[in-house]
Chain A
Amino acid sequence: MIRSKTASKARLSLSRKKQKLVMAVLTLFAAAAAIVFLLPTVLTIANSFMSASEINANYGAVFAKNEQGGKTFISEKINLKFIPDMVSFSQYYTVLFKSPDYLLKFWNSVILVVPIVIFQLGTAALAAYAFARLKGRLKEIIFFVYIIVMLMPYQVTLVPNYLVSDWLGILNTRWAIILPGIFTPFAVFLLSKIMRRIPNSLIEAAKLDGAGELQIFMYICLPLCKSALYSVAILVFIDYWNMVEQPLILLSDTDLYPLSVFLSQINTGEIGLAFAVATIYMIPTLLMFLYGEDYLVEGIAYSGGIKG
């Protein structure tokens, strides 16, 4: 009896040890994965603090295309470095004060993305409220159409967008990107999922207290989805901050291009600058992420399940 007890105890502690070991292995694995996920971003930021000559020396083998001549030292090998030999802000200084081109493209991005986010959120909040309150066949059909439009890739939707822009004569202007962007149904879809969760009793109670529909929308539904609105704003922002397809097709004037497209067209002589520009370009999205990660995670979690 006693023996078996100690034996089972020993077995228990053994299995506990085993469990600990498994945990340690899993944690190590997760840590390794985390490093892989973070590395490219960290490297980009770290490299932005190198001086131009250091970057040329490190990456000359990749980016140089003969134009460099004998001016700078180009090593045969690539040196991927985390820590610059000497932290320098010279790249940032050049970007911010000496080459207005990049700032202009950054501004192009802002002026395209911000209106899209604001107006998409505005129209979507209203439409989501409607979808949450309405019943009946017609609403179901409209919602289904929204989902279909949402699921279509750019290769499909850009053709209609191009056609309409042509009709309206807004091709090759910012409106050609902003207007279709505003009416992309993604935000409607996500917000209506969340609005539907608002209990009907709450709305009925407000009605009994004499609130009109507008008041219900403004003072009950909107405040209840504050965090959802924020997370949708982040998701829409990052999607358009990243845009590549739309400007390539809808804008022929490269002066209007956002930085997301322009960055790849940086010429090889300015590789040093490119890292600084890249870092500047990710600052808005990274800030949003750091401030709103919990909201964002909540919003993503809500979006799960098309049927819901």
Chain B
Amino acid sequence: MQNFADFVGYRKVREGRFAVLLMKNKKKKLKKILGNDSVFPYLCLAPSLIGVLIFFIVPFIVIIYYSMVDNPINKDFVFLENYINILKNTAFRKAAMNTLTFSLISVPLAVILSMLLAMLLDCKIPFVSQFRTSFLCPMMVPVASVVLIWQVIFHYNGVLNDFLSHFGIDKIDWLKSPKGQIVILALFLWKNLGYNMILFLSALNNIPKDVIEVATLEGAGAFYKFFRIKLRYLSPTILFVTVLSLINSFKVFREVYLLTGDYPYDSLYMLQHFMNNTFRNIDYQKLSSAAILMAIVMVIIIGALFIAENKFGEDVEG
């Protein structure tokens, strides 16, 4: 009896040991994935992560599903049909084209102009901090607050037309003409250049001084110094400013909406207008396929920018 009990006990111990070993192995694997022993950081992450999951990730997955069924009640799987429909939709195409044109023009301009502004302030001119303040100021002014002044300037009877008429240029209604995008472009640059400029200023400050000094000693011209040295060090910032401006260029809807309302002139009909109007009759198929198309395009563009930057700034430690 005793022996048997011993035997069973022994087996139990052995199994226990084996289990412990197994656990250890599992822990090692887990550790590779999780990386930490302590639970506290995970507890810290939890509230934010749960929120992001609930409000962004889970519904986004559901939206992928919605974009592939014919309607939320029947739920017949139609795969890409909704996408084809949305691509054929004239309103969507117009909105996408307008938004795309605007981004294509405004983003490079925003990057280049803000870099120039930063270099201007980097030239040791007097009153730098005052200039910095005034360039940053538009960022802090709510769009809604300055819309009135924009109306006064760009209206048919407005200041700009008044000014141009001195040069014999005919009046046009800026916001209701194909030139509307130019106005919006000006407003976009006005608002966003300051923020981008700060990013470039700090990047310019971080370029190692000795590299520039050596180049100067070796007789490198300003042109060479800029294109061969500074631009390389700036390249991560250029990437960041490009992505940021891209996102902000979608927010230009605010100005357009506050100036022209729900149904603007053709050239100002943005994707957000399309979404607003689709939300009004809650067409989940249209909404979800449009949103996912946009998400895919964004991921592709940003991914391409990342790859380009990696190639360009390769030999510089950013």
Contact = CB atoms under 8 A, between A and B. Distances in A.
B137 A155 contact: no
A301 B144 contact: no
Interface in A218-249: 238, 241-242, 244-245, 248-249
Nearest to A64: B157
Contacts of A274: 148
Interface of A: 23, 26-27, 29-31, 33-38, 40-41, 43-44, 47, 59, 61-63, 76-78, 80, 123-124, 126-127, 129-131, 133-139, 142, 145-146, 148-149, 151-164, 167, 179-180, 182-183, 185, 188, 213-214, 217, 238, 241-242, 244-245, 248-249, 259-261, 263-264, 271, 274-275, 278-279, 281-282, 285-286, 288-289, 293, 296-297, 300-301, 303-308
A255 B59 CA distance: 28
A289 B137 contact: yes
A156 B158 contact: no
Contacts of B57: 145, 149
A86 to B, nearest CB: 20
Where chain B touches its partner, the secondary structure class is helix
A300 B198 contact: yes
A245 B272 contact: yes
Give 6 closest A-B pairs by Cβ, nearest first. A136-B35, A183-B51, A301-B202, A160-B59, A127-B48, A135-B35
Contacts of A282: 140-142, 145
Interface in B260-318: 261, 271-272, 275-276, 279, 287-288, 290-292, 294-295, 298-299, 302, 306, 318
Given A151-B243, A188-B48, A37 B135 contact: yes
B120 A44 contact: no
Given A41-B137, A124-B48, A242 B56 contact: no
A260 B146 contact: no
A43 B159 CA distance: 13
Given A63-B151, A279-B145, A214 B40 contact: yes
B138 A41 contact: yes
B42 interface: yes
Given A30-B120, A124-B48, A285 B158 contact: no
Contacts of A185: 48, 52
